[in-house]
Amino acid sequence: MFGFLLRRLIYSLPIMLGVALVCFGLVHLAPGDPLMSILPPDASADLQAQLIELYGFNRSYPEQFVSWVWRALQGDLGTSIASNRPVASEVMTAVSNTLRLAMLATFIGFVLGCLFGFVAGYFQNSWLDKFASLLSVLGVSVPHYWLGMVLVIVFSSILMWLPPGGAGPGGSSQWVWDWEHFKHMLLPAITMSVIPMGIISRTVRALVADILAQEFIVGLRSKGLTNLGIFWHVVKNAAPTALAVMGLQLGYLLGGSILIETVFSWPGTGFLLNSAIFQRDLPLLQGTILVLAMFFVVLNLIVDVIQTLLDPRIARS
C-alpha cells in the first residue's frame, strides 16, 4: 500500500508542473493589457514602466514562469492588480466557500444518483428504470444557469421559502454554521447537484446491471443467500467506481461553478474567476486556476487511495 501511494505521488508531480505551465501560458495568451484596469487614461510613461516592473511584466515569459512557480511553492501567489490585496487570501476565502457548496452538491447528487441507479439497475426495463433514466438524462441536459433562475423564481419570488442569493443574510460573505446561512446554500447546491446526479445514476445503473448478470451472483442465489446479502455484494463491487465518479464530479464542481455562482451571487471561486476575467487581473486569475487545478489533482490522488482500500486488486495490478 505504501509503495502504491508513493508511486501515485511521484506520478502527480509532473502533472502538477504541467498544469502550472498550461495555466501560465493560457492566461498570458489571452488578449488585453492587465494594467489598463488600474492605469488612468493620462498615465505617464514612467508610471507605466514602474507598474510593469513591479508586477514583473518586463521579464521574459520563462523568467516570469519560474518566479511565479517558486513564489507559489512558498505560498505567495502575488498581489491582485484590481484590489491590491494578496491573491492567496482572496483565493482561499473563495475556495472555502466553493468547497462547502460543492461538497453539499456532490452529497445530494451522490445520494440521489445512487438511489436512482440502484433502482434502475435492479428493475431493468421496468417503468422505474425508465423514470430514473429520464431523470438522469434531464439532469445532464438542463442548463445550470436556466435551472438556477427557475428555482429562484419559484422558491424565492413566488413561494418566498429560500433567499435568492448571497452567502448570508444582508449580502454577507462571512460564513457561519447556522440555519440562516445554510438556507442561502440550498438553491445553488441543488442546482449544482443535478449534473452529478445524472452522471452517477447512469454509472451506477450500468454497474448494477453488469454485476447482477455475473456468474458469482447466480452462485450466491443458488446457495440461498438473501436479497439483502446479494445487495451488499453488489454495493461492495460497485462502490470503487461510484466513488471515483463522485470524486471527479466534486473536482468538476470546484472549477465549473462560475455560472451558478454568478446567478446566485455566491462568493466562491467561480464568482472570483468571473471578476478576474473581466478585470484582466492576471495574478488573481492565475492563482485561482492554479489552486483549483491542484485541488483536482490532489482529489484524484485521494480517490485512488480510497479505491485501493476498497478494492485491493487495484494495488496488485
pLDDT in tens, 52-105: 777 677 777 788 888 888 888 888 887 787 777 888 888 888 888 888 888 888
- Nearest CA to 304 out of 2, 102, 4 is that of 4
Choose between 32 and 265: higher pLDDT.
265
Cell of 179: 440555519
For residue 170, what pLDDT is reported?
Answer: 65
Maximum mean pLDDT: which of 101-110, 169-178, 215-224, 276-285: 101-110
For residue 34, what pLDDT is reported?
Answer: 61
Q: Is the pLDDT of residue 277 over 70?
A: yes
* Alpha carbon distance 293, 256 (integer Å): 11
Q: What amino acid occupies position 27?
A: V
DSSP state of 169: G
Q: Is the pLDDT of residue 145 over 70?
A: yes
Segments in 79-141 forming alpha helices (H): 87-122, 127-141
The structural domains of the chain, ordered by start, are 96-280 (1.10.3720.10)
**In a 10 Å sphere around its CB, with 0-12 CB exposed, 13-18 middle and 19+ buried, how is residue 180 labelled?**
exposed
Q: pTM for the whole thing?
A: 0.75
Give the three-class secondary structure for 190: helix
For residue 33, what pLDDT is reported?
Answer: 61
For residue 6, what pLDDT is reported?
Answer: 76
* Alpha carbon distance 141, 135 (integer Å): 10
**CA 195, 197, 200, 204 torsion-angle sign:** negative
Cell of 302: 485521494
* Alpha carbon distance 22, 293 (integer Å): 10
Please, what is the average pLDDT of the chain?
A: 78
Choose between 58 and 189: higher pLDDT.
189
* Alpha carbon distance 43, 117 (integer Å): 61
Name the pLDDT band for 316 (thresholds 50, 70, 90). Answer: low
Torsion of CA 160, 166, 170, 173, to 10 degrees: 150
